[in-house]
Chains A and B, each alone.
Chain A
Amino acid sequence: MKELELKYVGHEAVRLDGLEKITGTAKYVDDIDLGPATLYVSILRSPYAHAIIKKIDTSKAEALDGVYAVVTGKDFPYRYGLYLKDNYVFPLDRVRYVGQHVAAVVAATQEIADEAVKLIEIEYEPLPVIQDPLVAIKEDAPLIHPDLGNYEVVPWLYPQPGTNIAHVRKIRKGNVEEAFKEADFILEDWYVVPHVVHAPIETHVSAALYTPDGRLTMWNSSQSPHTQRNIIARSFKMKHKDIRVIAPYVGGGFGGKAGVNMEVVAAACALKVPGHPVKIRYTRKEEFYDTSMRQELHAYIKMGVKKDGTIVALKHQLYWDVGASAEYGSNVVNATGFSAIGPYRIPNVWIDSFAIYTNRPPCGAYRGFGYSEFHFGLESHMDRVAKALGMDPVEFRKKNAIQEGDTVAYGVEMGPTGILKCIDEVAKAIEWGKPSEPPKEPHKVRAKGFAAVWKAPAMPANESSAAFIKFSEDGSINILVSGMELGQGFLTAMAKIAAEELSLPLEKIRVELPDTDRNPYEWQTVASHVTWSCGNAVRRAAIDAREQILDVISRAYYIEKSNLYLEDGKVKCYTKPDFEVPFESFVIDGVQMPDGTYRGGPILGRGSFMPEFTSAKVNPETGQGGHPNVHYTTGAGAVEIEIDTETGRIRVLRMAEAFDAGKAINPDIVKQQITGGFVQGLGTALWEEVKFAEDGRILNPNFTDYKIPTALDVPREMHPIIVEVPQPDGPFGARGIAEHTMIPVMPAVANAVENALGVRIKNPPVTAEKIIKALKEKTV
């Protein structure tokens, strides 16, 4: 790629949303007042994890003064889903998890709504509860979705009617059985990664107003305004133009606010009370029970290697507990099925990735999209195999690291990657090979652990982004996009991309938050792909605007277009040093000619982007023949930990992570993504796990019993490192890194624990309890 002299991209900047956020003026959905006609909603939830709904009697609730509507499944007997339509707006004949919304009351006050909900009478017939995916997959297991065969599904997912399997993705590359015969060493084992929650500080909030003219307006805390409009329009059988989704700032998403979940409840309630806005703000407990969580994974890994450390074969079977719905999570299962070789060159591969229904809450997208979970086992395995061979784990990874031109599991060539540089940089920063300083207290031990990772955006082959750029009279611009600022710095990145192409200072740029009526299409802000995809759309819109600007000036001043260029908000000319036309003089008003007429008109840039090389059409038995992913981002991470062998407590003393961002549009914000994602990963490595009772209740649905990291838990020494091997089709070479940053943490911690104590923990979180138990077993 040509070296460009960049003025904005790659330089530090204050975030575009900084001032709004530090003054408390940034608006989130719950900050929007909807006026005195607003009604209040209370939701009735299932006490059973699995039961037939025999009867619902709402008459007493409806009779209560102040109740406007009671909503149940019979009002909106619709299914919805992003990939597999297996989720119900409200359940019709059965509940599938504790906490599932069964009915809602809309009333004049919250007190009345809460009172009325208690008057709804439901007769349930309990069914056997399944919480273990390895039980649910058995042939005689009770069916959680007996109608699976009737559900609408995208053509690249394969539900298995008559079972609890919502999808299976298979990869068959080379011949693993033959390769295992030739291997010098084989290691096989199981790893289990539990359910965790996103825990954004802002819970899910959705407000909706249906007016008698047939319009539904929603204000959602959302990563996916257009996709929500699409899903709601299709499931409620409305026209897209009649639904407007406005998405103000999101107080943390992490995948949990992707697609649709509780927003359908708000839509259903609003449709029953035309003219009255309704707003639903989930409590923290509801956030645990009835949004989505990360899938639980039971992974079997068998790896065969040669004495020299060459990996010859990998069998990786992934049994995912997707909970009661796989409408979104089926794609987690699919994406990891394609990618569960990790960032390695492996000639013989066998992967089965199963989406298995259980009676746990629906699971779906969670930062990392399944890659954190499968990398835990794979990267634990890598360390164990390296040790068995007597090789250094870092050298073993480098020897097998995938390179440009190698084939990935589905047979396509790997693109440019900085994985070796990432591994080297992390090893250097963590001082790999240098023993840790001895701890001060004798009952403490220190060690380091390493992991390498990769991840591709998981998207339909035709995902797309679009952008408009509007000029104003003073030469400033508003960029209209529907990518979402989740905190990752999206607005600032889009502004810089436009600033670079238009040579316009950042102070003259605003980027607008999504409103499906006004802003052009964006598939979703997920998959760490908006910098790449929406960035390409913004870049094209800026180039389109620039061409319009140059056309006007060329026509008005009779100068060859090729002699004109933009600099600092002005049009200049290579051949006439004094020529200078500021944007504000013409971008709306046009250029006045000597005869008094004008040339030009409002400048309006338009850009859209869709990857045109991807295809989900593959052989279902082998996974070969298509091109399901756009690219992979690679990276590595390491930790140095200290373990208190008396209490089992682990402290992470320092960390290093490096990712190949292609080109960091906002380097400081990229580094903060790395450290922030690391800390989220740290929670899952050390403490986070949703605990279920036998009846399906959650035992820790709050921040007292479900701990997320605090300022005290963070390593005092952090090394976030950016590697830049350009992505040929990325804006200025950029590719995404946001999710990736939490992927190395769980295995790096487990590897460090083994290096410190000689015990291998195969089921994170690596709690103090597990450490003590493992130490006791070791000494027995």
Chain B
Amino acid sequence: MQKKEITFTLNGKKVWVEVKPYEKLLDVLRDKLGVKSPKYGCGRGECGACSVLLDGKAIRSCIVYAIEVDGHDVITVEGLQANGLTDLQKSFLAHNSFQCGFCAPGMIIQATELLNENPHPDEEEIREYIAGNLCRCTGYNPIVEAIMDVAKKK
């Protein structure tokens, strides 16, 4: 199958990478570019563990083809914290928001998009916004509370 070199901005830096037309963004990020925070959980866009920001929007990188991001901007947790922990990360840390931690990067991406779009969401808006990010450990409340704390302080 024909390979194609694509170029896009990853966490503020331009990257060049050769991809096959059927390769998913998640696999290219993890296996070819060494960015490991997005996780494989389902491969069908159902769990949100692979979420990254594409041009500022949270997307499921397991169902986006890598060639689709040619020329675009991708941010993962590695990029969010380039200048130190974000307020959201600090709040997640203080609330002990995660247990196994596997959903954490995707959850942080999703919550980052939420607060960018709506700096003062109420509890129900937060729950609605993260309802596509599955967590099997926490029961979600420590995650919701951490996001609410940041929203209140903004």
A residues adjacent to B (C-beta < 8 A) = 14-15, 17-28, 30-31, 33, 198-203, 249-254, 281, 283-284, 486-489, 668-669, 672, 675-680, 702-704, 708-712, 714, 716, 718
User: Does B151 have its Cβ within 8 Å of any Cβ on chain A?
Assistant: no
Contact indicator A24/B78 (Cβ below 8 Å): yes
Contact indicator A708/B99 (Cβ below 8 Å): no
**Bound CA–CA A676/B141 (angstroms):** 9
Contact indicator A200/B42 (Cβ below 8 Å): no
Contact indicator B104/A22 (Cβ below 8 Å): yes
Give chain B's interface residue range (CB within 8 Å of chain A): 35 or more
Contact indicator A672/B134 (Cβ below 8 Å): no
**Bound CA–CA A716/B127 (angstroms):** 10
B residues adjacent to A (C-beta < 8 A) = 30, 34, 36-37, 39-44, 46-47, 49, 76-78, 81, 85, 89, 92-94, 96-105, 108, 123, 126-128, 130-144
Contact indicator A252/B40 (Cβ below 8 Å): no
Contact indicator A26/B101 (Cβ below 8 Å): yes
A24, A33, A711: the one within 8 Å of B37 (CB) = A24
Contact indicator B89/A23 (Cβ below 8 Å): yes
Contact indicator A203/B139 (Cβ below 8 Å): no
Residues of B within 8 A of A488 (CB): 99
**Bound CA–CA A729/B30 (angstroms):** 46
Contact indicator B42/A703 (Cβ below 8 Å): yes
- 20 A/B residue pairs, CB under 8 Å, sorted by A: A14-B93, A17-B101, A198-B136, A200-B136, A201-B103, A203-B41, A250-B100, A252-B137, A486-B99, A487-B99, A676-B138, A678-B139, A703-B42, A709-B140, A710-B131, A711-B135, A712-B128, A712-B131, A716-B123, A718-B141
Q: Which of chain A's residues has its CB closest to B127's CB?
A: A711
Contact indicator B142/A672 (Cβ below 8 Å): yes
Contact indicator A31/B36 (Cβ below 8 Å): yes
A17, A23, A702: the one within 8 Å of B44 (CB) = A702
Chain A interface mostly: loop
B85, B96, B100: the one within 8 Å of A252 (CB) = B100
**Bound CA–CA A677/B44 (angstroms):** 26
Q: Which of chain A's residues has its CB closest to B136's CB?
A: A252
Contact indicator B100/A251 (Cβ below 8 Å): yes
Given A17-B101, A23-B89, A711 and B137 contact (CB-CB distance below 8 Å): no
Given A284-B41, A487-B101, A487-B137, A711 and B96 contact (CB-CB distance below 8 Å): no
Q: Which 5 A-B pairs have the closest CB atoms?
A: A487-B99, A24-B37, A251-B102, A21-B101, A487-B100
Contact indicator A249/B100 (Cβ below 8 Å): yes
- Give the interface centre of B101, B130, B131 by most chain A CB atoms within 10 Å: B101
Residues of A within 8 A of B77 (CB): 23-24
Residues of B within 8 A of A24 (CB): 36-37, 76-78, 104-105, 108
Residues of B within 8 A of A19 (CB): 93
Q: Which of chain A's residues has its CB closest to B109's CB?
A: A24
Contact indicator B44/A672 (Cβ below 8 Å): no
Contact indicator B137/A21 (Cβ below 8 Å): no
- Give the interface centre of A24, A31, A281, A708 by most chain B CB atoms within 10 Å: A24
Contact indicator A201/B96 (Cβ below 8 Å): no
Residues of A within 8 A of B128 (CB): 712
